[in-house]
A and B are shown apart, each in its own frame.
Chain A
């Protein structure tokens, strides 16, 4: 199973990569929304995890591009962010996010959610 993780914090990218690889997933990372969408188009992601606040293209832009893409547009997309506001959650849901995870994430819970969403 191949996961695309998009976050501008290299610490968060490292933590995600460590947690997800430990769980047996293959992980590709991207440093912002633009690189994230580029990599999404070049791979067959089984799930995407994206931050919201990023330079160049934010998480909402990433979700919109994925949902409008010609291939793999139904991929589960989890928003990973420190924000917990109802309005932001609703915005992400309307943009097409599958779920919302508030940082700091718990490795076990994150993996459980991913397995549930991907049926693995």
Chain B
């Protein structure tokens, strides 16, 4: 979808910064610092990578980052606790996310044998979530299926 090389390069530069912030945050969490601010910083790093990767249709990266951030979201909402098992999975997820960014940078397919076990572990922490209701959502015709717009002003 996006072909502008300069913006793509800027995206990977931003990813490097976000992955560094992610590594710092995870390291702090392993050291016992699991306060909201620390978890939020980790969440935002994963969330920002996901948000921008979506613009470049990096689907494997987006899918993984989505599960990763959902676990972090549940952690900051106190639906999960930062025990040793979870912290270990988060650390592995950080490593896989970094690999997926490298794969996207090199434009090569992800190593699913490495990604899938960690993805399953992340998903194992999540309860089945109901699909979003679409009463406020319409699918824009000129827009690919991944782009959904909800315009309340048109409905009220």
Contact = CB atoms under 8 A, between A and B. Distances in A.
B38 interface: no
B47 A53 contact: yes
Interface string B124-156: 000000001101110010111011111111100
A69 to B, nearest CB: 20
Contacts, number: 106
Contact of A15 (B2, B132, B149, B153): B2
Interface of A: 8-12, 14-15, 18, 51, 53-55, 76, 81-82, 84-86, 89, 93, 97-106, 108-109, 112-113, 116-117
B55 interface: yes
A10 B14 contact: yes
Contact of A99 (B1, B43, B146, B149): B149
A108 B40 CA distance: 33
Interface of B: 1-2, 4, 7, 10-11, 14, 40-41, 43-44, 47-48, 50-52, 54-57, 66, 132-133, 135-137, 140, 142-144, 146-154
Nearest to A55: B44
B54 A14 contact: no
Contacts of B1: 104
A8 B44 CA distance: 9
Contacts of A101: 149-150
25 contacts: A10-B10, A11-B7, A11-B14, A15-B7, A53-B44, A55-B44, A81-B51, A82-B51, A84-B148, A86-B133, A86-B135, A89-B150, A93-B152, A99-B152, A100-B149, A100-B150, A103-B51, A104-B54, A104-B56, A106-B143, A109-B140, A109-B142, A112-B140, A113-B149, A113-B151
